[in-house]
């Protein structure tokens, strides 16, 4: 039984991200959060950074690469990008960066709305084990998580964030190549 990592304080990481991002935000910046955890984080960052363009949200269900094996999940939230993507400098926000497949799907969907000038990836936690050539420009922390565990962001009734480890029921496509 591998020892489980000590998880950092998610609230503290949000504060750090805000400070990292603040000098990078300008008039052309817009933010898009990936449903669900990324959207929670994006709501907080968007407000604290006082970004003038309204916050966009995307649900990548229709762009997943494991759709033919796992189907549509029960509740797909409509994506909502309430600004013109063309020419924008976008901050794409997710809670945890892992294989990179979610980010790939989100990028594909974003480009169906238009052609942004740039896209930078913002995550609260980077757990490594990438399966695609994708990297976060802004990460709250790098966390090593044992295989078979998933790192999740939880939000309590007061809106406070906390990390949690969960045993994965279905590893399927998300399992890194070469894993048992």
Partner 1 sequence: MQANPQLNKRGGLQHLLSIDGLPRDIVLHILDTASSFVGISEREVKKVPLLRGKSVFNLFFENSTRTRTTFEIAAKRLSADVINLNVDTSSTAKGESLLDTIDNLAAMNADMFVVRHAQSGAPHLIARHVQSHIHVVNAGDGRHAHPTQGLLDAYTIRHYKHDFSHLAVAIVGDVLHSRVARSLIGVLRTMGTPDIRVIAPQTLLPAGVEQLGVTVFNDIAQGLRDVDVIVMLRLQNERMRGPLLPSAQEFFKTYGLTDERLALARPDAIVMHPGPMNRGVEIDSPVADGGHAVILPQVTFGIAVRMAVMAILAGGV
Interface residues with partner 1 (CB under 8 A) are 59, 61-63, 67-68, 70-72, 74-80, 108-109, 111-114
The first and second tokens of residue 157, run together, are: 């009734």
**Cβ distance to partner 1 smaller for residue 62 or 149:** 62
**Cβ distance to partner 1 smaller for residue 75 or 158:** 75
Concatenate the DSSP letters of all residues of 40-104 into one string: HHHHHHHHHTT-SSPPEEE-GGGG-TTHHHH---S-PPPPB--S--TT-EEEEEEEEESSSHHHH
Nearest to 93 by CA among 150, 63, 55, 61: 55
**Cβ distance to partner 1 smaller for residue 33 or 140:** 33
**Cβ distance to partner 1 smaller for residue 58 or 96:** 58
Least distance (Å) between residue 112 CB and partner 1: 4
Least distance (Å) between residue 69 CB and partner 1: 9
Least distance (Å) between residue 68 CB and partner 1: 7
**Cβ distance to partner 1 smaller for residue 21 or 106:** 106
Nearest to 100 by CA among 65, 73, 67, 56: 65
Phi, psi (deg, nearest 5) at residue 84: -80, 120
Least distance (Å) between residue 88 CB and partner 1: 13
Least distance (Å) between residue 108 CB and partner 1: 7
Buried b (16+ CB within 10 A) or exposed e, 57-69: bbbbbebbeeeee
């Amino acid at each position: 039984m591998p020892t489980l990592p000590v998880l950092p304080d998610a609230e503290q990481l949000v504060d750090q991200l805000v400070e990292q991002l603040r000098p990078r935000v300008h008039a052309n910046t817009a933010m898009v959060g990936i449903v669900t955890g990324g959207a929670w984080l994006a709501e907080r960052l968007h407000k604290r950074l006082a970004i003038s363009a309204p916050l966009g949200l995307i649900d990548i269900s229709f762009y997943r690469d494991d759709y033919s094996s796992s189907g549509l999940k029960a509740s797909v939230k409509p994506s909502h990008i309430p600004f013109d993507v063309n020419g924008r400098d976008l901050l794409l926000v997710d809670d945890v960066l892992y294989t990179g497949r979610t980010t790939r799907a989100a990028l594909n969907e974003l480009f169906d709305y238009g052609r942004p000038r740039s896209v930078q990836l913002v995550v609260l936690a980077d757990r490594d084990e990438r399966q695609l050539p994708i990297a976060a420009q802004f990460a709250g922390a790098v966390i090593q998580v044992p295989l078979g565990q998933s790192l999740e962001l939880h939000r309590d009734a007061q809106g406070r964030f906390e990390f949690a480890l969960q045993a994965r029921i279905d590893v399927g496509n998300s399992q890194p190549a070469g894993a048992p």
